[in-house]
Amino acid sequence: MPSNFYEQVYAVVRRIPVGQVTSYGRIAHLLGRPRAARAVGYALNALPSAPHIPPVPWHRVVNSHGRISLSNREFNAQEQAERLRAEGIPVTAELTLDLPKHLWPGLPLEELDEIISPSTHY
């Protein structure tokens, strides 16, 4: 049973549209925990061992500088770059992209409320 926080992170990431990206910190802010950026990364790290349906587009999350994490010591970083390019986002050899240009605006309050407090939607 995944924790509530993980599920909240996954719920948000699923809303990121094709061709757009956001950062770990911004997801933390959306969830009302402005300083939990690190925990967001931790949540995504735990993803491969627990495949979800619908799938979670983890590749659309980069750091606050618009750079792919896991600095190229793992093939995962290259895979992430390829997936982003496939969605039309240019990624440099240094694994960076234009964050402001492709930044996902975020969620409407209504949808956000459903994620944070599912019990209050009726």
What does the binding site for DNA look like in residue numbers (CB under 7 A)? 3-6, 23-26, 33, 35-48, 58-59, 61, 63-65, 69-70, 76, 80
Smallest gap from Cβ 88 to DNA, in A, equals 19
Residue with smaller CB distance to DNA, 19 or 66: 66
Smallest gap from Cβ 21 to DNA, in A, equals 11
For residue 10, with 0-12 CB atoms within 10 Å meaning exposed, 13-18 middle and 19 or more buried, which class applies? buried
Q: Please give the Cα distance from 61 to 51 (Å, whole number).
A: 17
- Number of other CB atoms surrounding residue 16 within 10 Å: 20
Smallest gap from Cβ 77 to DNA, in A, equals 8
Residue with smaller CB distance to DNA, 80 or 122: 80
